[in-house]
Amino acid sequence: MNTALLLASLATVVLGRFSYEGYKVYQVTPENEEQIATLYKLRGTLRYGLFSDSVVPGYPVNVMVAPAEQEMFLQIINEDSLNYRITAEDIESKISAERERIQKTSPVAKGEISFTEFQTYTVIQDYLQQLASSYPDIVTVEEFGRSFEDRPLILIRIGAGAESNPTILIDSTIHAMEWISTSVTTYIIQQLVENSDYRYLIENINWVIIPVLNPDGYEYTFTQERLWRKTRRPGTLCDGVDANRNFPYHWGGNGTSTDECNFYYIGPHALSEPEVVAFTNVVYKINNLVLHLSMHSYGSMILFPWGWTTELVSRSDELQQLGDAASKAIAAVNGTVYITGPSSQLLYYAAGNSVDWITYTRGTLSYTVELPAGPGDGVLDGFIVPPEKILPICQEFWPGLLSFAHQSAKIDLNNADGSSRLTISFRQWAWVLFMYCFRCADGI
Ligand SMILES: *[C@@H]1O[C@H](CO)[C@@H](O)[C@H](O)[C@H]1NC(C)=O
Ligand SMILES: *[C@@H]1O[C@H](CO)[C@@H](O)[C@H](O)[C@H]1NC(C)=O
Ligand SMILES: [Zn+2]
């Protein structure tokens, strides 16, 4: 980061909240490998990096550029004759409108949850505690560590069956600004615990769910800097570590940055972040782990390893097949298409991420889910999702989750949902009656 940029960012925080005044979002469509390489180079240089993550020839990519970076950005873009257009210049006004809206919204009652607005970490923790006391037979809530700023790291365990049942692990919001992933994960918790239609899912599967893995960053996005991504570890020039580049597998490899001001900063060493250490300890202790989902936004994608190399992972056929099935189930709701594939081929290199690490250490089916953007041009809406879109995005993802659960835990649908169970028991009754009459007729 150059001095001008440093001074500019210091100036913007002096008045309190971080201001996005003068920031612009550019849309660039790389047409060949060379231009993709340029985008990777830019990603290593810019404070914010790329917004939408699909760096594939022909796919537009959104890049947010700070005022002090405009000149450098345009120079690099022009050198490689990349076409661009400006898609958002009023970032600050969008962000302050969202902040004002949230401040005006009356808070939910303690222990309740709502999907008409984004919720703070306190609201989510209170909701989980309420579930633990209302459903003590199926729910336990556990503090599995403390964040860098000493917030409790909270997970919820949901299960109504054998301890030996297959386990599904879901983590969310390792990237602070990806608020919609927090909503979707909380919605999943609500359905599993409070919707008795899905009782079979908790009788057959043990669930371990972490709705906010980076609570310091999450809190900071509500109070200070809406588009913050990293943890809150203080640095020399810039703060924070990309916790999803801090896992101890190919740490520091392709798609990462050693510049602490970068969006994708790997941290001083692998496992430097207490949130990542605590998470890995949770993972080591899970028995019979059959599926892991890491919830992110945005891009409408279902990604599987590897992130560090374009080589295929050993279970890639199975990963592709389960991903395609989930994607199909989601599309059946409202036509939203989630693209499925290996992350290094669809998205970008991302060495040191949780999904690579879990695949390597546990051999489990493991995915990064990039939830969809809001409506409109999808530029800033990707992170600034309008409140009326929260519930539809949650509801639309739910059938995808069901598909993942059924397939990874090998739940036989004919024995699973209520209606088919009725059919089965009707058949069983018919059989009993038939046997009875048969024996009657036989005179026994
Ligand atoms: C980066 O990716 C390439 C291509 O997939 C791979 O061959 C190489 O080993 C990776 N580099 C590192 C440092 O992991
Ligand atoms: C489906 O799309 C319609 C029309 O845009 C919208 O009103 C509705 O909320 C969407 N439902 C879901 C579950 O996404
Ligand atoms: Zn993310």
Structure-block tokens of residue 174: 């390792």
Threshold 0.75, pTM exceeds:
yes
CB of residue 396 inside a 6 A radius of ligand 2: yes
Decide: 395 in ligand 2 pocket, CB within 6 A: yes
CB burial class (10 A; 0-12, 13-18, 19+) of residue 196?
exposed
Pairing of strands 301-304, 339-342: parallel
Rounded distance between C-alpha atoms, residue 179 and residue 297, angstroms: 8
User: Could you tell me the distance, in angstroms and rounded to a whole number, from the CA of residue 337 to the centre of ligand 2?
Assistant: 14
Short-list 370, 369, 310, CA closest to 345: 310
370 carries an active-site annotation: yes
Which pairing describes strands 289-297 and 167-172: parallel, antiparallel, or unpaired? parallel
pLDDT at residue 408, as a whole number? 97
C-beta separation of 292 from 286 below 8 A? no
203 C-alpha to center of ligand 3: Å? 31
Q: Are 386 and 94 in contact (CB under 8 A)?
A: no
Q: Is 334 in the pocket of ligand 2 (CB under 6 A)?
A: yes
- Give the torsion sign (CA, 37, 38, 40, 44): positive
> What is the residue with the minimal CA distance to atom 12 of ligand 2?
392
291 beta partners: 168, 365
Q: Which domains does the chain have, with CATH numbers?
A: 3-89 (3.30.70.340), 101-411 (3.40.630.10)
The amino acid that residue 88 corresponds to is A
d(C-alpha 370, C-alpha 299), whole Å: 5
Tell which residue, 399, 394, 368, 364, has the closest CA to residue 167: 364
- Bridge partners for 26 per DSSP: 63, 86
Of 98, 273, 370, 396, the active-site residue reads: 370
Among protein residues, the one whose CA lies closest to atom 12 of ligand 1: 253
Task: Tell which residue, 54, 25, 50, has the closest CA to residue 338.
Answer: 54
Place of tokens 């599309």: 331
Q: Is 217 exposed, middle or buried (0-12, 13-18, 19+ CB in 10 A)?
A: buried
Index of the ligand 1 atom closest to the CA of residue 309: 5
Give the ligand 2 atom nearest the CA of 334: 1
Q: What is the pLDDT of residue 50?
A: 66
Q: Which ligand is nearest to the CA of 336?
A: 2
CA distances from 441 to 36, 412, 435 (A): 79, 36, 10
Q: Which ligand is nearest to the CA of 345?
A: 1
Between the CA of 246 and the centroid of ligand 3 the distance, in Å, is 13
pLDDT for the residue numbered 433: 44
φ/ψ of 342, rounded to 5, equals -70, 140
pLDDT one digit per residue (tens) for the chain, 444 residues:
444 444 444 444 444 789 999 998 888 888 888 888 888 778 777 777 666 655 677 777 888 888 999 999 999 889 888 889 888 888 899 899 999 999 999 999 999 999 999 999 999 999 999 999 999 999 999 999 999 999 999 999 999 999 999 999 999 999 999 999 999 999 999 999 999 999 999 999 999 999 999 999 999 999 999 999 999 999 999 999 999 999 999 999 988 889 998 888 999 999 999 999 999 999 999 999 999 999 999 888 999 999 999 999 999 999 999 999 999 999 999 999 999 999 887 767 889 999 999 999 999 999 999 998 765 545 566 678 889 999 999 999 999 999 999 999 999 776 554 433 333 344 444 444 444 343 333 333
Closest ligand to residue 53's CA: 3
Nearest CA to 406 out of 347, 335, 340, 322 is that of 322
Measured between alpha carbons, how far is 193 from 435 in angstroms, rounded to an integer?
Answer: 40
Written as six digits, the tokens of 37 are 């390489």
- Hey, whose CA ends up nearest to atom 6 of ligand 1? 309
